């Protein structure tokens, strides 16, 4: 399976996340939850963790933890690569008509070609 760029992986997961399987979804949730727990910086008791497990936000399944151990970026690239392999026919790409960059999502505006904040005002109102 070819490794794809993070940008392409994000595009695929944003637009075609419905093709993620349950294990992939659980691994993404597990990573997000552990990151939030780290950010919160408080000690999470066994009971706290149990609540998160019951909500399906933390996993104890070895197959899920193995994926989660790849880290978010690598996991997203792996999921994106699998989605594009398994759903080649369904995937559509949306490129910016001006610069040709892959847009962040289908029908989204290009971040590169969006005028900088204040640009239009400067153009209209500056002397
Ligand atoms: Zn563009």
**Tokens 């151990």 belong to which residue?**
69
* CB-proximal residues (5 Å) to ion ligand 1: 96, 98-99, 110, 112-113
Query: Ligand 1 mean position to 104 CA, how many Å?
Result: 11
Total-model pTM: 0.78
Provide mean pLDDT across the span 26-33. 95
What is the CA(99)–ligand 1 centre distance, in A? Answer: 4
List pLDDT tens digits, range 34-66: 998 888 877 888 888 899 899 889 999 999 999
**pLDDT band, very low/low/confident/very high, at 30 (cuts 50, 70, 90):** very high
Candidates 77, 57, 58; CA nearest to 13 is 77
Q: How far is the CA of 86 from the centre of ligand 1 (A)?
A: 29
Q: Please tell me the distance from the alpha carbon of residue 16 to that of residue 110, in angstroms, as a whole number.
A: 19
At 110-126, the pLDDT tens digits run 988 866 555 555 556 65
Of 87, 101, 78, give the one whose Cα is nearest residue 4: 78
pLDDT over 90 (residue 2): no
The string of pLDDT tens digits covering residues 67-91 is 999 999 999 999 999 999 999 999 9
């Amino acid at each position: 399976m070819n490794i794809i760029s993070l940008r392409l992986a994000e595009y695929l997961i944003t637009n075609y996340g419905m093709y993620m399987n349950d294990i992939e979804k659980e691994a993404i949730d597990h990573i997000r939850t552990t990151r939030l727990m780290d950010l919160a910086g408080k000690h999470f008791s066994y009971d706290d963790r149990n609540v998160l497990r019951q909500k399906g936000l933390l996993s104890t399944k070895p197959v899920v933890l193995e994926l989660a151990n790849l880290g978010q970026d690598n996991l997203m690239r792996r999921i994106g690569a699998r989605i594009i392999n398994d759903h080649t026919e369904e995937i559509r790409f949306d490129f910016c008509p001006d610069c040709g960059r892959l847009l962040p999502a289908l029908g989204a505006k290009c971040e590169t070609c969006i005028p900088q904040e204040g640009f239009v005002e400067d153009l209209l109102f500056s002397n």
